[in-house]
Amino acid sequence: MNPKFKNCIVTLIRGPLVAPLGSLNNEPTPALGLAFLAGTLKEAGFDVRGIDATAENINQIKPIANTKLQYNGLGIEEIIDKICPSTKVIAISAMFSHEWTFIKKLITSIKNAFPNIPIIAGGEHSTALSEYSLRDCPSLDYIGIGEGEEIILEFCTKIATDQTISDVNGLIYLKNGDLVKNPLKNRIKDIDNIPWPDWEIIPIKPYLNNSISFGASFGRNMPIMASRGCPYQCTFCSNPTMWTTRYNIRSPDKVIEEIKYYKEKYDITGLQFYDLTAIIKKEWTMEFCQKLLDEKINLEWSLPSGTRSEALDDESLAMLAKTNCRYLVYAPESGSPETLKLIKKKISLTKMKASIHSAINNGIIVRTNLIIGFPHETRKNIWQTLKTQFQFALMGVDEAPLYPFQPYPGTELFDYLLNKGKLKVNDSYFEILSTLSTGKFSMPDDSFCENVGKRELHFYRILGFFSFYFLSYVLFPKRILRTILNLFFTNKSSTVFEQRLKDKLRRFKPIF
């Protein structure tokens, strides 16, 4: 540990949650990526300060002037007031493209307040649109591409020891108006050695104390990751750009050790895996579940991000249920075989339905994520997905939301639309992304489907939503009582739908 590091203050910032006005499906979640950076820098000896703007004012929601957007958390001036003037490095999360217009204003304001402090950004948006972000926001000095721990550690080490930072691998910046793109960092192979997220620097307690959850809630929900990356290449997903297609997984023992630490330190009652694709290897899953049983870890846990079904057979699903896995999200994405082929979603719907059926029989609450409005899709393709959604309702799936397709930067479909002249990267595009990602029932600003317009696409989404939940509650009336009990008499929720309703009720509490 270099003694110079303890005098080098590094401030990590996650801005407030940005969403369309009145959004229903944008609950705040802990800043897991930033917490990983905090843990890495702290272990190296740096004086790390964290500002999670959402966590520090979790009930505040305000409109963003001259937009159709709102922010949840601290405003820009409130964030600036929390930055220590002696900071040597400011690192800002730029994860989501629909938040870029706000993040850009935040970075510009911070640079105006602290003109001599270097600002570096990282995350999926800044990785996918690195040159655009640097030119669109001149106050942004550097961008770290992809996996951030080793980049930020080397960057801060060179700052603390007065070395040149221009040769840090994984760094992109402008020099006299020209783009400098250093060689990429290699992916971290042994992810067991990555320091754990530091939840004292990046606050977790506001999320725990309010039972906030990415998926269904089991009270005090702690995020965790057992793997990084995804070996698949779906055309609508930015994973290949951000993480490459290398899939790395931790040892079950290391994951169990981290869980036990959180249970003792934070008194958690629920665990949520934020992995991109949590279950690929059945052997790993069975070993992990057996260790949960051996260690008598009594926690409810879930896989809310969406996973594949190949490793989820009767045996593994029975084991998941035995270890209190309560909520499982499958990601079929479409009910159209043609669409699945074109988006490179290498799944068998028949096998996935068999896995879903087995999960339901084991008492696991199931959600399936579906998308409509891919560029090539026809009405036939969309109706096939609606039919699949209907079938899921009959099977007993608890949730099967329909999302409109979003052309996210860093994806193959984004490049296709950009090259065809179907989209232009500017502030209007980022705001369109916001309206596509919202849980509101209002119509999005645009559709990127070549055969179906935004009004018709919106009709299909509303039709699917109300038809699915009508069938869900009529065919399984016990869910009505469950939802009422969860909304008003417990700190838990069995589905995302219930959790979002609870989130709205929580925000109304200060009024009464």
CATH number where 131 lies: 3.40.50.280
Distance CA 479, CA 465 (A): 16
> What residues contact 295, with CB distance under 8 A and at least 6 apart?
256, 260
Of 405, 426, 445, which residue is a domain's last? 405
Q: Mind listing the pLDDT tens digit of every residue in the chain (512 residues)? A: 677 788 899 999 999 999 888 777 677 899 999 999 999 999 999 999 999 999 999 989 999 998 889 999 999 999 999 999 999 999 999 999 999 999 999 999 999 999 999 999 999 999 999 999 999 999 999 999 989 999 999 999 999 999 999 899 999 999 999 999 999 998 898 999 999 999 999 999 999 999 988 889 999 999 999 999 888 889 999 887 777 788 899 999 999 999 999 999 999 999 999 998 888 889 999 999 999 999 999 999 999 988 888 889 999 999 999 999 999 999 999 999 999 999 999 899 999 999 999 999 999 999 999 999 999 999 999 999 999 999 999 999 999 999 999 999 999 999 999 999 999 999 999 988 888 766 566 777 788 999 999 999 999 999 999 999 999 999 999 999 999 999 999 989 999 889 888 887 876 654 33
CATH number at residue 243: 3.20.20.70
Distance CA 244, CA 290 (A): 31
Residues 367 and 234 grouped into a single domain: yes
Residues 165 and 220 grouped into a single domain: no
pLDDT of residue 278: 80
Asked if the structure places residue 243 within a domain, the reply is yes
Burial code (b: 16+ CB inside 10 Å, e: under 16) for 170-204 equals bbbbbeeeeeeeeeebebeeebeebbbbbbebbbb
pLDDT of residue 510: 46
Segments forming the whole domain that contains residue 348? 213-405
What pLDDT, in 10s, does the model give residues 469-491?
999 999 999 999 999 999 999 98
What pLDDT, in 10s, does the model give residues 173-216?
999 999 999 999 988 989 999 999 999 999 999 999 999 888 89
Number of domains in the chain: 2
Count helices and strands in the chain by DSSP H and E runs: 19, 18
Report the DSSP pairing between strands 402-404 and 365-372.
parallel
Residues 372 and 262 grouped into a single domain: yes
Contact 171, 151 (CB under 8 A): yes
Contact 220, 265 (CB under 8 A): no
Asked whether the CA dihedral 319, 323, 324, 329 is positive or negative, the reply is negative
CA 122 to chain centre: 14
Residues 156 and 249 grouped into a single domain: no
Residues 176 and 252 grouped into a single domain: no
Asked if the structure places residue 471 within a domain, the reply is no
Distance CA 20, CA 69 (A): 4
Asked if the structure places residue 384 within a domain, the reply is yes
Contact 465, 404 (CB under 8 A): no
107 is written with which tokens?
């970075």
Distance CA 157, CA 154 (A): 5
Residues 156 and 240 grouped into a single domain: no
Please return the burial class of 496, using the count of CB atoms within 10 Å of its CB with bins 0-12, 13-18 and 19+: buried
Distance CA 255, CA 197 (A): 12
Q: What count of Cα atoms within 13 Å lies in the side-chain half-sphere of residue 7?
A: 6
